Structure 1
Amino acid sequence: MAEITPIPLAELTTLRTGAAPERMLDAATSEVLVDALREVWSRNDEWFVLGGGSNLFVGDEPFDGTVIRILTTGIERLPSPHAGRARLRVQAGHNWDELVAYTVEQRLAGIEAMSGIPGTVGAAPVQNVGAYGQEIQETLVEVELIDESTGEVQVVPASELGLGFRTSVLKHHYGGAPIRRAVILSVTLDLAEVDEAGREISGEQLRRALGITGDGMLPLSDVRDQILATRAAKGMLLDPEDPDTSSAGSFFQNLIVPEVVAAQLPPECPRWPVQPDLDAATVIPLESFDGYIPPTPVVRPEVKVSAAWLIENAGISKGFRLPRSRAGISTKHALALTNRGRATAGELAELARYIQARVHSEFGLLLQPEPVLVGIEL
């Protein structure tokens, strides 16, 4: 295990906040990572793991515990049990966008719409990362993880991760602890093999982002290029010369609300239906079956609502700043809170609370932060 001189977290996170922690370890292999975690857990230290630092909002006070940097990399191609598909086992510390670039080069479809998302592969299942109607749960087969409660390494199928909209059983939700405390070591995806023509684009959000109106195939490289251009125009591609990219991406989640709640919002508010699980099965043990099959419960439709629209229509425009604050809304995207130059975590938190209050006052909805918060509260 490689213990290093602690580095200020402001240098390792895209929001650029946070002092140096008490202790820092580097793990460049899965074996070192497992040993480091077991050692930290045996000491009952406060701890967290750090990948790309793009979904982390760290407070100004030094973290009184151990930070473990996951630096593992590597992609292994495996056969798939399904015809016309291939599997990739990827180490947790591998850069996510480098993985997407690899799949496009290898003509493996399924994650190309998530081009340009910062961070590491191991973080992707934790929040069921997604963009433009594509989510990792659509291709995720399993993860290899180490469980804090037992210290054991296990392979866990995707079906046991509780994957939902930007969530899983592994995620630290604001104000609560994860259902299962564990660290992902590797991720296995099952992707479709395509030819030079690419794939047909069917999802509404992706078709709109790509400007597609008719039918037809689109090469994966074209999808990736257009998504990268779209993200760059919104300040969502990391660029040290552009302060709009000194952010954690979308700071607030789009809201999932009942259809009846969405109906009360102005009609121009963008919204997308959330498809219910129509394949859900009721399992009745044979020994207890008495001939009665309970009726299928009525599934109330839910709707995803644009948080960016709510923010802008609560009177907070792109580029907004509170007086004398070095934190501000991106000039390109209303969902991104940015560090405009040496802003403290306190300044960013003040801006976030102000946005929440304005949206709640105007629409009665409470925006929830998407990044993991460490040593800071909203």
Structure 2
Amino acid sequence: MSTVETSTQDALRGYTTLRLGGPARRFVVAETTAGLVDTVRELDAAGEPVLLLGGGSNLVVADEGFPGTVVRIGTTGWDGDTVAAGQDWDAYVAATVAEGRGGLECLSGIPGSAGATPIQNVGAYGCEISEVLHSIELYDRRSGEIRTLAASELGFAYRTSVLKGTDTGLVLSVRFTLSDDGLSAPIRYAELARALGVEVGTRVPVTEARDAVLALRRGKGMVLDPADHDTWSAGSFFTNPIVPEADVAGVLARIAEVVGADVAVPQYPAQGGVKLSAAWLIERAGFGKGHPGPGGRVSLSTKHTLALTNRGGAATADLLTLAREVRDGVRARFGVTLHPEPLLINCSL
């Protein structure tokens, strides 16, 4: 069943983790997969602009709102390794861990819905969705067909897939390939390995891995808490930049000129080049934890420089002003351009 809610001035503000965004012309909640497909099909046929909304954890919505219909994906539940698109992600991860299923434990505490995870190839603590995803069920808005796509068809790369940047494919459900021996995937992230007291590559009980990940995320303000303004964010606002192989030497030389040749620059192998740490660059460009934006209404998180946060009473314009300041400051100092991770709706940097 789908229901229509009357749009209010703070309709979208109330459905995003940033608690920002103006009204929509119309707001629809689709609670079944059939209702979701029928609703989107009807709106497409009518030529109505549509914004698909899951958990709202990866959206920056303009103060002017959205001049069309917002369809909130309200489908929930799971059957083993297959989960509905609208299901709260961490609740599903918690359930798999409780059942002794391994593979998703390092993605604990990430806000949002299950259907959003393959779109940007969500990842954390050495794990990415692409490594555990089997397939998705998708409604193709161009052809009007419901299709099943294997992981190999989704063009996964760092924080992206063929689904990102387009709304032609509507994820209906996601199927994973999980282990059933009660152990995690091999721990690959050094910080997590240290927290667990194990060597990189070790497998640990899934419950221990989840608990350690949640503790690390809480320490960075990355687990939602209404009382903690550091969690009023869209998570990591900028992706870690990937420098093309041909430019690596020049970029590293410029960074060395700024911070000193004896300072180790965090860098990781990446397809086609080298991945740098956005947080490291932000801090060394002069933007420390808690760096304020306009009027102190927004700031960098006091716990993690990669999160831009709403301190209460902020507007989206405030957030974008701070984002531009950070992006431009890093580019001026190091010649590296940072790109936003969340989707910008009716606004831009």
Q: TM-score, normalised by structure 2?
A: 0.92
Match of 1:134 in 2: 127
Match of 1:53 in 2: 56
Shift of 1:263: 3.7
Match of 2:232 in 1: 246
Shift of 1:234: 0.3
Residue 376 and residue 211 in structure 1: after superposition, are their counterparts in 2 closer, same or farther (change >3 A)? farther
Match of 1:187 in 2: 174
Listed as ranges, the matches of 1:56-205 within 5 Å are 56-77=59-80, 88-172=81-165, 178=166, 181-195=168-182, 200-204=186-190
Shift of 1:269: 2.4
Unaligned runs of 5+ in 1: 78-87, 173-177, 277-299
Q: Is the 8 A contact 2:189 2:200 kept in 1?
A: no
SS at structure 1 position matched to 2:306: coil
Shift of 1:158: 1.4
Q: What is the CA deviation profile of residues 131-162 of structure 1, one whole-angstrom value per residue up to 9, with x for unaligned ones?
A: 01100000111111111111211111111111
Q: What is the CA deviation profile of residues 168-200 of structure 1, one whole-angstrom value per residue up to 9, with x for unaligned ones?
A: 11112xxxxx2x7111000010111114x6554
Residue range with higher mean Cα deviation, 345-354 or 15-24: 15-24
1:269 corresponds, among 246, 265, 269, to: 265
* Identical columns (%): 47
Match of 1:307 in 2: 278
SS at structure 1 position matched to 2:66: coil
Q: AA paired with 2:209?
A: V
Q: Is the 8 A contact 2:57 2:112 kept in 1?
A: yes
Q: What is the CA deviation profile of residues 301-346 of structure 1, one whole-angstrom value per residue up to 9, with x for unaligned ones?
A: x222110000000001100113524111100000000000111010
Q: AA paired with 1:232?
A: R
Residue range with higher mean Cα deviation, 253-262 or 236-245: 253-262
- Does residue 1:17 correspond to 2:20, yes or no? yes
Q: AA paired with 1:272?
A: Y
**Rounded Cα–Cα distance in structure 2 between residues aligned with 1:60 and 1:344:** 7
- Matched residue pairs, number? 336
Residue 41 and residue 263 in structure 1: after superposition, are their counterparts in 2 closer, same or farther (change >3 A)? same
SS at structure 2 position matched to 1:125: coil
Q: AA paired with 2:7?
A: P
Shift of 1:124: 0.2
- Does residue 1:256 correspond to 2:242, yes or no? yes
Match of 2:295 in 1: 324
Shift of 1:205: 5.8
**Rounded Cα–Cα distance in structure 1 between residues aligned with 2:52 and 2:195:** 33
Match of 2:223 in 1: 237
SS at structure 1 position matched to 2:209: helix
**Rounded Cα–Cα distance in structure 1 between residues aligned with 2:186 and 2:156:** 25
Shift of 1:201: 2.7
Q: AA paired with 2:129?
A: I
SS at structure 2 position matched to 1:40: helix
Shift of 1:204: 4.3
**Rounded Cα–Cα distance in structure 2 between residues aligned with 1:356 and 1:209:** 31
Residue 344 and residue 216 in structure 1: after superposition, are their counterparts in 2 closer, same or farther (change >3 A)? closer
Q: Is the 8 A contact 1:71 1:93 kept in 2?
A: yes
**Rounded Cα–Cα distance in structure 2 between residues aligned with 1:254 and 1:200:** 23
Q: What is the CA deviation profile of residues 348-375 of structure 1, one whole-angstrom value per residue up to 9, with x for unaligned ones?
A: 0000000011000011011000000001
Q: What is the CA deviation profile of residues 48-101 of structure 1, one whole-angstrom value per residue up to 9, with x for unaligned ones?
A: 111110000000003110000001111112xxxxxxxxxx11100011111111
SS at structure 2 position matched to 1:249: strand
Q: Is the 8 A contact 1:312 1:334 kept in 2?
A: yes
Q: What is the CA deviation profile of residues 81-127 of structure 1, one whole-angstrom value per residue up to 9, with x for unaligned ones?
A: xxxxxxx1110001111111111111111111010000000000000
Residue 103 and residue 46 in structure 1: after superposition, are their counterparts in 2 closer, same or farther (change >3 A)? same
SS at structure 2 position matched to 1:317: coil
Residue 199 and residue 342 in structure 1: after superposition, are their counterparts in 2 closer, same or farther (change >3 A)? same
Q: Is the 8 A contact 2:232 2:311 kept in 1?
A: yes
Q: TM-score, normalised by structure 1?
A: 0.85
**Rounded Cα–Cα distance in structure 1 between residues aligned with 2:79 and 2:93:** 14
Match of 1:366 in 2: 337
Residue 112 and residue 97 in structure 1: after superposition, are their counterparts in 2 closer, same or farther (change >3 A)? same
Match of 2:4 in 1: 3
Q: AA paired with 1:37?
A: V
